[in-house]
Amino acid sequence: MVRITFYFKEGCWFCDTAEEMLNGLQERHGIDITRIDINSDDEIYELYRFDIPVFEFKDGSALHGRIRKKDLLQKLEEHRE
């Protein structure tokens, strides 16, 4: 199981693309996804507004912006529990 917090914003096509990629890998790689819309909190919005989409991992490391599938697969291997 790999836990990922996915920060996104409605209407962001980068976010939609990243979510599709994540959903496609979710079952096969045992991913537990927490989705957070950055518009739900002013602090979160200020923190991530220029970086979305963001996949944050348990250790605090993250992938953001134009996320490549090979980078995500590598992170999934590193964080497998």
Q: Are 53 and 14 in contact (CB under 8 A)?
A: yes
Look up the CATH number of the domain holding residue 60. 3.40.30.10
Confidence at residue 21, expressed as pLDDT on a 0 to 100 scale: 95
Q: Give 80's pLDDT tier (boundaries 50, 70, 90).
A: confident
What pLDDT digit, counting tens, does each position of 28-67 carry? Answer: 999 999 999 999 999 999 999 999 999 999 999 999 999 9
Cα separation, 63 vs 41, in Å, equals 21
Residue 35: give the domain boundaries: 2-78
Number of domains, the chain = 1
